[in-house]
């Protein structure tokens, strides 16, 4: 009965507001910004939507739409199979990842001030260790969420922040990724920016370290999150199951957090 009491108490706590349900998801619509890759590569398919019927002669009593987008559009999940370094892992796609791995405690690194001052701000191991001094060691199976307040940039140009030399958006110093993946054994990282790597990460060694090393370690990513400012540094739980696309490299998803009342 212990387990059922836990779940009953959780449901009561949600009903009373003692536990808040925080939506970490951006709206998904045609204007949702997508990643821009160098011109020689295939580009992300933006979100498209069309009406099948809307209580009309195509369907008198019902409204429904079709939609089309890349797997990496809007708030989305990155599976290990997304990257060449993760392609040979077992259970590395959206349909085969163990479902327990979609739920984990949140550790929120609040770098809003740093990212506002420097759009190329990178989280370092020292930064993470300073966070742990205050909030405790990052537990295994955590989602490490990188708060930058980037989601508050509602103008797509400011959000993508493209310049002649590419995007300028915050991310991870390369050596932080093996530290988080191996020494802390996290589930994955979540960011507010359009992708899990820094805008300039194509120039890093290795290039795109979060994708290369996180997926190489069979870990996950969450991109284009919002409302991270609504979460405490520790104590919240992230729920992030992607669509069960067969051999999917990722998918748009609804990301929720359960957080203690403020």
3-state secondary structure of 160: helix
Question: Between 145 and 259, whose beta carbon lies closer to Mn ion?
Answer: 145
Can you give the binding site for Mn ion, defined by CB under 5 A?
Answer: 72, 78
3-state secondary structure of 56: strand
CB of 50 vs Mn ion, minimal distance in Å: 24
Minimal CB distance to Mn ion: which residue?
A: 72
Question: Between 72 and 147, whose beta carbon lies closer to Mn ion?
Answer: 72
For residue 115, give the nearest of 151, 77, 162 by alpha carbon: 151
Question: Between 111 and 222, whose beta carbon lies closer to Mn ion?
Answer: 222
The Cα 67–Cα 89 span in angstroms is 30
Contact call for residues 104 and 142 (beta carbons, < 8 A): yes
Q: HSE on the CB side for 71, CA within 13 Å? A: 19
CB of 71 vs Mn ion, minimal distance in Å: 8
Which residues have a catalytic role annotated?
82
> For the purposes of burial, counting CB atoms within 10 Å of the CB of 233, is it exposed (0-12), middle (13-18) or buried (19 or more)?
middle
CB of 221 vs Mn ion, minimal distance in Å: 6
């Amino acid at each position: 009965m212990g387990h059922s009491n836990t779940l009953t108490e959780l449901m009561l706590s949600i009903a009373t507001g003692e536990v808040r349900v925080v939506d970490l998801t951006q709206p998904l619509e045609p204007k949702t910004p997508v990643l821009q890759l160098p011109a020689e590569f295939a580009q992300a398919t933006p979100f498209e939507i069309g009406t099948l019927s809307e209580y009309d002669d195509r369907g008198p009593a019902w409204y429904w739409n079709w939609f089309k987008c890349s797997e990496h559009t809007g708030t989305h999940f990155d599976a290990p199979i997304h990257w060449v370094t993760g392609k040979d892992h077992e259970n590395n796609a959206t349909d085969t990842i163990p479902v327990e791995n979609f739920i984990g405690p949140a550790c929120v690194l609040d770098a809003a001030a740093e990212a506002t001052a420097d759009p190329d701000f990178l989280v370092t191991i020292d930064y993470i260790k300073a966070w742990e001094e205050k909030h405790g060691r990052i537990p295994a199976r955590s989602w490490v969420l990188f708060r930058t307040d980037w989601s508050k940039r509602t103008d797509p140009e400011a959000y993508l922040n493209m310049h002649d030399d590419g995007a300028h958006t915050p991310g991870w110093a390369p050596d932080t990724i093996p530290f988080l993946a191996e020494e802390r054994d996290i589930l994955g990282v979540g960011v507010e920016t359009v992708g899990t790597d820094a805008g300039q990460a194509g120039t890093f060694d290795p290039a795109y370290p979060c994708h290369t090393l996180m997926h190489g370690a069979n870990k996950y990513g969450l991109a284009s999150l919002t409302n991270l400012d609504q979460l405490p540094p520790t104590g919240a739980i992230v729920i992030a199951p992607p669509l069960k696309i067969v051999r999917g490299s990722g998918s748009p998803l609804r990301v929720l957090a359960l957080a203690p009342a403020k």
